[in-house]
Amino acid sequence: MKVFLNKKIPQVGIDILEENNLEIITSEIENPSHREWLENCKKADLLLNVGKNKYDKEFFDACPNIKAIALFSVGFDQVDISEATKRKIPIGNTPDVLSKATSDVAFLLMQMVSRKVNYNIEKIKSGKWKDFDALEELGQ
């Protein structure tokens, strides 16, 4: 079976695919046009999608040989699930993979605001950094 990887993935993923005797198809171009992407999909039995490609009725009509799609994402928003279900094409994703990272970033943003990070970075870049000024540095 042939699997189309539309973008680079970690080597461990490629190793797993090869260990399972899957022939890997990749694009010759880093960011192929929609037409070029679709041509590669037509050659494959399986897809491993990284990014925002659309899997709708038109896609499934153009690629009747697709047997499964694995999404390198949390959601299914780019896939017409009812169309895939009708055609008995399983769709996989990576649930909860971003939960910890999302909470980390939310906390980081709160810290940045409370510590006036962007304001202070701009002061440093513009050369206006000086000794501590108790009135200017008031925060929480």
Would you mind telling me the total number of residues written for the chain in this entry? Answer: 140
Share of the chain above pLDDT 70, in %: 97
The whole-number average pLDDT for the span 49-59 is 94
Number of domains in the chain: 2
Q: Same structural domain for residues 87 and 110? A: no
> What is the domain extent for residue 119?
99-140
Q: Same structural domain for residues 7 and 63? A: yes
Q: Same structural domain for residues 64 and 110? A: no
Contact residues for 105 (Cβ-Cβ < 8 A; gap 6+): none
Residue-wise pLDDT tens digits, 1-42: 999 999 999 999 999 999 999 999 998 888 888 999 999 999
Whichever domain contains 86, its CATH number is 3.40.50.720
Q: Same structural domain for residues 46 and 28? A: yes
Pull the structure tokens for residue 55.
């899997």
Q: Same structural domain for residues 77 and 107? A: no
The whole-number average pLDDT for the span 95-117 is 91
Q: Same structural domain for residues 26 and 83? A: yes
For the entire predicted model, the pTM comes to: 0.76
Exposure string over 68-91, b if 16+ CB within 10 A, otherwise e:
bbbbbbeeeebbbeebbeeeebeb
140 has pLDDT over 70: no
Confidence of residue 83 (pLDDT cuts 50, 70, 90): very high
Q: Same structural domain for residues 12 and 76? A: yes
CA dihedral 117, 121, 122, 123 (to 10 degrees): 100
